[in-house]
Amino acid sequence: MSIIEPPPKLDSVFNDVASFTKIFKIAQMPQLQSLIHKANDQYFYWSEIRYRMPADVEFKAEEVWAYLKLGRNANRKAASIKDKNNQFFTYWIPDCLHRDISEVDKWSGGRIITDQPSLPTKERFIINSLMDEAIASSQLEGASTEYRVAKEMLVSGRKPQDKNEQMIFNNWKAMQYIRENAQKKFSMDKLFELQAILTQDTLEHPEDSGKLRKRDDVVVYYKNEVVYIPPKADTLEERMNNLCEFANIDDENNWVHPVIKGAMIHFWLAYIHPFGDGNGRTARALMYWYLLSQGYELFQYLSISKHFLRAPGQYVRSYLYTEYDENDLTYFLVYNLSSIRLAINELTKYLSRKQQEVSKANRLLAHFRGLNLRQKSLVYHSIQHPDMIYTIEAHKNTHGIAYDTARKDLMILASKGFLKIEKEGKRLLLFLPAEKQIEKLHAQ
């Protein structure tokens, strides 16, 4: 990848005793210490160090990088992941990771929906976030379906119309599969089953679905450029067994924080690239699976891939920086945890906004005692979106309720004049917002 430049090797900088001694004078330079602190706090790669070098210092960027690497190497420890040359990846936990882990743990230890009783059911929020995750994770892998169209497909329950929609539909099914199997241990058979769900009816060679790849011609592209060549096919079974063992066993002597471990599993699957296609989607799904299995149930409310999708170049570089800089997995961990933290912040703001909306709907609908929270939320939504069309199937899927319950919700709203009914074909009922809803509410 042309935008990635390998960092200088330490032995190219330390060519004699004098050069080694000079490096440690960096500690006496305040303007460089500020750069070093920021480099570790945000975990800069070599190119960022070179770009940010002050102009008025006697040191070269290579020397500052060498000083930085000495500190990083002193703190690192081996992960369980091995590269194509059978060398271990390493990592350490800089301050920025400690902060992110703390935030995630504090958030995960709290409650979302139960603390806000005026909001609709928690199942609706889980469904919405998992749909968003299914869409974003598929779009990262090239699915070109627009978000609006994809969301309409999942909510309405209609069948996919092309390969792009099929990818998204498969991802949605996979997220449901993970929820159902969250407490089961990782196994080769389970991973194959998950991957088969993710790739159903999307592969050029359908027989490859749910199986380890047999070929070595699989490469990873980014912007039409080969950026990565995975390990050989004949090593995959052993590597996958090692991944499952890592996920299932918590060794007290080699304990890894669950959120860090989830990110490692994400990286590991993507790195070994065991399948002919769908490796990225499988890797992100496995991270969700592992975190749910460890009691991080609130991750059901997050769509982390939405943040990967907003800056796909950063996502790709977090892999490449790790590989280019002596298998330093910290780059990937920092990016992954930062994305989780952003997803948490966005969810917090979203919930606050939704609570305000629902509270307003409750005030407007105070006289309609017979309406439940789902109905009140739909009325308020229809006021904001007068061109929206609602169906029983979409209402059912949105809230995770039975068909008869969804039908009853909408029919009651129609009987009270908030919705009007039209028919499409012989059977499908369409529910449209009635006119002058605000006037009706204020007239009560």
Tokens found for residue 170? 């498969």
- CATH for 307: 1.10.3290.10
Backbone phi and psi for residue 346, each to the nearest 5 degrees, phi listed first: -65, -40
C-alpha 230/C-alpha 270 separation (Å) is 9
Helix (H) or strand (E) holding 342: helix 330-364
Residues 139 and 250 occupy one common structural domain: yes
Residues 213 and 301 occupy one common structural domain: yes
Residues 323 and 426 occupy one common structural domain: no
| Domain endpoint, select from 58, 75, 92 | 75
Are 319 and 267 within 8 A, CB to CB? yes
Residues 321 and 244 occupy one common structural domain: yes
DSSP 328: B
In a domain, 242, yes or no: yes
Is residue 120 predicted with pLDDT exceeding 60? no
Range of the domain at 414: 367-443
Residues 437 and 343 occupy one common structural domain: no
Residues 122 and 241 occupy one common structural domain: yes
Residues 310 and 407 occupy one common structural domain: no
| Domain endpoint, select from 318, 349, 380 | 349
Closest alpha carbon to 232 in 241, 219, 245: 219
In a domain, 359, yes or no: no
C-alpha 223/C-alpha 235 separation (Å) is 28
Tokens found for residue 187? 């196994």
Residues 68 and 85 occupy one common structural domain: no
Are 433 and 388 within 8 A, CB to CB? yes
In a domain, 323, yes or no: yes
pLDDT score, position 117 = 44
Three-state SS at 82: strand
Q: Total structural domains in the chain?
A: 3
Confidence category of residue 341, pLDDT binned at 50, 70, 90: very high
In a domain, 361, yes or no: no
- CATH for 383: 1.10.10.10
In a domain, 5, yes or no: no
C-alpha 299/C-alpha 254 separation (Å) is 25
Strands (E), 134-288: 220-222, 225-228
pLDDT score, position 441 = 66
> 114-135 as b/e, with b when 16 or more CB fall inside 10 Å?
eebeebbbbebbbbbbbbbbbb
Residues 14 and 85 occupy one common structural domain: no
Confidence category of residue 423, pLDDT binned at 50, 70, 90: confident
Residues 218 and 140 occupy one common structural domain: yes
Mean pLDDT of 17-35: 80
**CB-based contacts of 164, cutoff 8 Å, min separation 6:** 138, 142, 143, 144, 145
C-alpha 414/C-alpha 271 separation (Å) is 53
47-56, 368-377, 427-436: which has the highest mean pLDDT?
A: 47-56
In a domain, 386, yes or no: yes
In a domain, 375, yes or no: yes
Three-state SS at 417: coil
Is residue 354 predicted with pLDDT exceeding 80? no
Residues 40 and 83 occupy one common structural domain: no
C-alpha 279/C-alpha 292 separation (Å) is 20
In a domain, 360, yes or no: no
Mean pLDDT of 102-121: 65
**305: Cα within 13 Å, side-chain hemisphere:** 27
Mean pLDDT of 333-337: 96
pLDDT score, position 111 = 59
Is residue 115 predicted with pLDDT exceeding 50? no
- Rounded to 5°, the CA angle 4-6-11 comes to 170
**CB-based contacts of 388, cutoff 8 Å, min separation 6:** 381, 382, 432, 433
| Domain endpoint, select from 40, 60, 75 | 75
Residues 102 and 194 occupy one common structural domain: yes
